[in-house]
Chains A and B, each alone.
Chain A
Amino acid sequence: MTCRSSIGAIALLAALLLPSFLLPDAGALAFDQSKYPDLKGQWERIGSPRWDDDHAPLTAEYQAIYQANLKDMKAGGQGIDPTYTCLSPGMPRIMNVYDPMEIVVTPATTHILIQHNHDMRRIFTDGRDWPSDEEPSFAGYSIGKWIDSKGTGRFDLLEVETRNLKGPRVYDASGLPFHKDNKTVINERIYLDQADPNLLHDDITVMDHALTRPFAANKKYSRSKDPQPVWLEAQCSDGNHHVQIGKENYYVGEDGYLMPVKKDQAPPDLKYFNKK
Chain B
Amino acid sequence: MLYRNAIGAIWLALVLVGSITGARAFDESKYPDFNGQWKRPAGIANQFDISKPQGRAQQVPLTPEYQAIFEAGLADQKAGGQGNDPTYICIPDGMPRVMNVIFPMEIVITPKTTYMMIEYLTQLRRIYTDGRDWPKDFEPSFTGYSIGKWTDADASGRYQTLEVETRLLKGPRTYDPSGAPLHPDNESVVTERIYLDKSDPNVLHDDITTVDHALTRPWTVNKRYVRVNNPIWFEASCAEGNPHLRIDGQNYMLSADGHLMPAKKGQMPPDLRYFNQPRN
Contact = CB atoms under 8 A, between A and B. Distances in A.
Interface of A: 2-3, 5-6, 8-10, 12-13, 16-17, 20, 27-34, 85-88, 104, 106, 111, 113, 115-120, 122, 131, 134-135, 137-139, 228, 230-233, 235-238, 243, 245-247, 252-253, 255-260, 264-274
B68 interface: no
B267 A228 contact: no
Nearest to B110: A104
A269 B248 contact: no
A113 B116 CA distance: 11
Given A86-B90, A235-B142, A268 B237 contact: no
Contacts of A34: 22-24
B91 A237 contact: yes
Interface of chain A, main secondary structure: loop
Nearest to A99: B122
A272 B259 contact: yes
Interface of B: 2-3, 5-6, 9-10, 12-13, 16-17, 20, 22-29, 89-92, 108, 110, 115, 117, 121-122, 124, 126, 130, 132, 135, 138-139, 141-143, 232-235, 237-240, 245-249, 254-255, 257-262, 266-280
B2 A6 contact: yes
B24 A267 contact: no
* Residue of A88, A134, A258, A260 contacting most chain B CB atoms (<10 Å): A258
Interface of chain B, main secondary structure: loop
A17 B17 CA distance: 10
B269 A31 contact: no
B269 A270 contact: yes
Contacts of B268: 273
* Residue of A16, A259, A268 contacting most chain B CB atoms (<10 Å): A268
10 contacts: A28-B29, A31-B24, A106-B108, A111-B117, A232-B141, A235-B142, A237-B89, A237-B92, A257-B270, A272-B261
A258 B142 contact: no
Nearest first, the 7 closest Cβ-Cβ pairs linking A and B are A34-B23, A233-B141, A237-B90, A246-B258, A28-B29, A137-B235, A272-B261
Contacts of B279: 266-270
Contact of B124 (A29, A120, A237): A120
A258 B267 contact: no
A237 B121 contact: yes
A260 B258 CA distance: 17
Given A87-B239, A270-B269, A16 B139 contact: no
Contact of B5 (A6, A106, A231): A6
A220 B25 CA distance: 29
Nearest to A29: B24
B26 A120 contact: no
A252 B249 CA distance: 10
B132 A115 contact: no
B16 A16 contact: yes
A32 B24 CA distance: 5
Contacts of A2: 2-3, 6
A167 to B, nearest CB: 11
Nearest to A119: B122
Nearest to A30: B28
A258 B239 contact: no
Contacts of B259: 245-246, 268-269, 271-272
Contact of B122 (A8, A32, A111, A120): A120
Contacts of B276: 264
Contact of B237 (A33, A118, A230): A118
Nearest to B246: A252
Contact of A243 (B5, B10, B245, B275): B245
Given A113-B124, A118-B121, A243-B247, 4 more contacts: A116-B122, A245-B254, A257-B271, A260-B275
